[in-house]
Chains A and B, each alone.
Chain A
Amino acid sequence: MATHEEYYVPAQSKWPIVGSIGLLVTVFGAGTMMNNMTSGADSSLGQYVFFAGLLILIYMMFGWFSNVVSESHQGLYSAQMDRSFRMGMGWFIFSEVMFFAAFFGALFYVRTLAGPWLAGEGAKADTAMLWPEFEFVWPLLQNPDPQAYPGPTETISPWQLPLINTLLLITSSVTVTFAHHALRAGKRAALKGWLLLTVVLAVVFLTLQIAEYIHAYNDLGLTLASGIYGATFFMLTGFHGAHVLMGTIILTVMLIRVHKGHFTPDNHFGFEAASWYWHFVDVVWVGLFIFVYIF
């Protein structure tokens, strides 16, 4: 196997240690910030440290990815290397699936088991003694202890913004696939067009999602602190939104690289990885739309 002999083992690199320091500074800043917020301490030190950490991380990602791009352009990567990248990305997405599985699992557990038990179902008599008035329905508008956790007055209807958002994301999955086909066919103009459209759809999605959050907080009393419905709602849609934001940034970088003339019809794994990631966030959204919004 000839490809074996060309497997590229890079020489030393400073990016891993820069990334480690960056992550440490970021989480130390974030932790300080949160502890100050919760204890009510008047200090903005945490914010500065946090943003310093983010800057280091951005520097690291820019440098590391530039390195990889330029090595690829120098033709250092064999077909075998390409397979390593594909496996790396594929398994990374699998790990992301499992991350979301934890939150979906929490949602299903509360809805099918913990909630009914809290309202006295089954043989656990003592649970019903805590809050005898409590009745479990979903969406949960009346929490067991409404003083500590005032519930939302209403929840988001799936058939307005969420439906539009579903259509937007599914369309964007199609457009990024069109862009990929255009890239493989060497049609650069079509590639730029479809990719730009994908980014635009992503930005519209994010904007609508922000509008929905503002509506939930201001008009519906649906917040992170409004009991388990708000907690699962915002953690699932929020982490999804964060992933869409990340995907949008990745696609934007791909758009810039396309304009700089990167990628060839048969060598464009960076683009493909971005599109895999994009399909992944779309699939998660479909799960959210069904299990968080509709049912």
Chain B
Amino acid sequence: MSAVIDNHHADHAHGPAKGPMRWVLTTNHKDIGSMYLWFSFAMFLLGGTMAMVIRAELFQPGLQLVAPEFFNQMTTMHGLIMVFGAVMPAFVGLANWMIPMMIGAPDMALPRMNNFSFWLLPAAFGLLVSTLFMDGGGPNFGWTFYAPLSTTYAPPSVTFFIFAIHLAGISSIMGAINIVATIINLRAPGMTLMKMPLFVWTWLITAFLLIAVMPVLAGVVTMMLMDIHFGTSFFSAAGGGDPVMFQHIFWFFGHPEVYIMILPAFGAVSMIIPAFARKPLFGYTSMVYATAAIAFLSFVVWAHHMFTVGIPLTGELFFMYATLLIAVPTGVKVFNWVSTMFRGSLTFEAPMLFAIAFVILFTIGGFSGLMLAIAPADFQYHDTYFVVAHFHYVLVPGAIFGIFASAYYWLPKWTGFMYDEVLAKTHFWMSFVGMNLAFFPMHFIGLAGMPRRIPDYNMMFANFNMVSSVGAFMFGATQLLFLFIVIKCIRGGPKASAKPWDGAEGLEWTVPSPAPYHTFSTPPDVK
């Protein structure tokens, strides 16, 4: 312990420590950001592999590859790993790398806690994945783990699933507290709130959402744990509880959670589009207020996930109108992005391609969301592949393309080298085509009535399912190309200047590429 303290005087003078323990013991926001991003990518491949199992089974009608029980575990784990292991940590990784540099801070506000937040994730997901090898198999009740499927009828491994969620939740809360403290407290002099880059703004709001709803998730899994092991009856009507109550508490967490996964992507895209349109962002102030409005509304729309469960008519109406209202601030954002590009000097490097695809395809996902928000129509769509198509359109070309756009945009800053533009564009087009092939047909088979979360289906859905599977395999295989591009970029390539993109703005481009181990040990002046 004393050794740790004695080191501090020199810690700005030297670079990273030597050896692998550097990564275990680090307090550096860039090291931790890199670890988050690598962890997220590993989880993306793992969750993606599960998606490949799902699509392989659904390639043809009938049961061919896996048992239905295992299929259920695959859909459940695919969702859990992608949501909690891939998308959320990727954005926390981007936040770690970029927020201190964007606001001129020396590091995150609480650097040791930052490392704690990261290292809880391998613990959480090690525990979660280990449930697949336990007696009775892993979680098989869907990523939304509705009671009583997840309580009365759950395999014994559900106990470890609950604790894995607790660990991931602790990690998220600590990470979010750190981000709020960093943004509020560590901005360089002159960096007023309304001068902050939009990625910082959207993360500030996201972090607030995380602190507000992750404890609610902890609460609901704790109730499950008590129902399973200690005889309580929160979700058992026989004891006066209510299984529907599970869904209310879960979605009170769950709906803000989906905005947690998209708002940082909004922020990143709001920085990338101006850079490649060589025009300032259209409507900065309205972007900030729209983000805040979306976050506020996310707390009062949760029961639109539950239209068919039997809620009172007033509830159906309230949650329907509140949900439709979200289209207003989201529309403001989409119009602002389009207006930013209007009459800009556009170039189409990989980050811009992903950003433009984001705007178009996320909007498609938003429109199908509006269809689902209409309660009487949702009675038809509920639990069909239409829902699967909807949320994959907002998450894959939304959250994931936002992450890819950010990765290509900032890779030169991280590595000091330019990535291979030809390969990156190949990655984009393969992903774009693959993802649309995989998810667009799901709209049709969903509207025709194919239920989600089943390993077998009616013959009439066979053709579209085969197209979906081909698209999914294409999208999945393409991500190995992304891995190759990133490794290639780390190992070398054309040298990147401090500001490799003409139109890019922000403090992160004022430091050399690659960014030195410690940036802004003394704060810059922001005018």
Contact = CB atoms under 8 A, between A and B. Distances in A.
Interface of A: 1, 4-5, 7-17, 19-21, 23-24, 27-28, 30-31, 34-35, 37-39, 63-64, 66-67, 70-71, 74, 76, 80, 83-85, 87-88, 91-92, 94-96, 98-99, 101-103, 105-106, 109-110, 114-115, 117-118, 122-124, 130, 136, 140, 143-145, 148-149, 223-225, 227-232, 234-235
A4 B522 contact: yes
A67 B27 CA distance: 14
Interface stretch (B184-192, B399-407, B413-421, B476-484): B184-192
A88 B110 contact: yes
Contact of B177 (A38, A91, A225): A91
A29 B222 CA distance: 16
Contact of B242 (A96, A110, A140): A110
18 contacts: A13-B112, A15-B112, A16-B113, A16-B116, A20-B122, A24-B123, A64-B112, A87-B109, A87-B180, A92-B177, A94-B212, A109-B242, A109-B245, A115-B240, A118-B237, A140-B240, A231-B232, A231-B239
Contacts of B242: 109-110, 114, 117-118
B373 to A, nearest CB: 22
Chain A residues touching B, majority SS: helix
Contacts of A19: 116, 119
Contacts of B219: 99, 101-103, 106
Nearest to B7: A11
B459 interface: no
Contacts of B229: 34, 37-38
A13 B25 contact: yes
Contact of A35 (B159, B186, B212): B159
A143 B239 contact: yes
Nearest to A114: B242
B500 interface: no
B4 interface: yes
B226 A114 contact: no
Given A38-B229, A225-B230, A109 B181 contact: no
Contacts of A20: 116, 119-120, 122-123
B523 interface: yes
A39 B177 CA distance: 39
Contacts of A234: 232
B156 interface: yes
B142 interface: no
Interface in B471-492: none
Contact of B173 (A35, A74, A95): A95
Nearest 10 interchain pairs by C-beta: A102-B219, A225-B231, A228-B240, A149-B239, A145-B238, A12-B25, A231-B232, A114-B242, A27-B163, A16-B116
Contacts of A30: 163
A83 B238 CA distance: 50
Contacts of B110: 84-85, 88
B107 interface: yes
B376 interface: no
Nearest to B159: A31
A289 B410 CA distance: 53
Nearest to B27: A10
Interface in B76-133: 105-107, 109-113, 115-116, 118-120, 122-123, 126-127
A92 B212 CA distance: 10
A115 B120 CA distance: 39
A144 B113 contact: no
A136 B113 CA distance: 47
Contact of A7 (B21, B186, B233): B186
Given A31-B162, A231-B241, A235-B223, 20 more contacts: A4-B189, A7-B186, A10-B8, A10-B27, A12-B22, A17-B24, A17-B119, A20-B122, A27-B160, A27-B163, A30-B163, A39-B156, A66-B1, A84-B185, A96-B215, A105-B252, A148-B236, A224-B232, A227-B240, A228-B234
A147 B213 CA distance: 36
A244 B434 CA distance: 54
Contact of B240 (A39, A83, A118): A118
A1 B220 contact: no
B239 A144 contact: yes
Contacts of A224: 226, 230-232
B11 A91 contact: no
A95 B310 contact: no
A50 to B, nearest CB: 11
Contact of A225 (B107, B211, B232): B232
Nearest to B244: A114
A34 B159 contact: yes
B67 to A, nearest CB: 23
Interface string B330-353: 000000000000000000000000
Contact of B5 (A67, A106, A230): A67
A74 to B, nearest CB: 7
A94 B11 CA distance: 33
B312 interface: yes
Interface string B453-472: 00000000000000000000
A1 B189 CA distance: 7
A13 B159 contact: no
A119 B522 CA distance: 66
A10 B12 CA distance: 10
Nearest to B124: A24
Contacts of B127: 24, 27-28
B327 interface: no
A132 to B, nearest CB: 14
Interface string B142-184: 0000000000000010011011101100100100111011001
B216 interface: yes
Nearest to A234: B232
Given A4-B189, A88-B177, A98 B213 contact: yes
B249 A13 contact: no
Of B127, B159, B213, B240, most buried by chain A (CB within 10 Å of CB) is B240
Of A21, A80, A149, most buried by chain B (CB within 10 Å of CB) is A149
Contacts of A105: 216, 248-249, 252
Contacts of A35: 156, 159
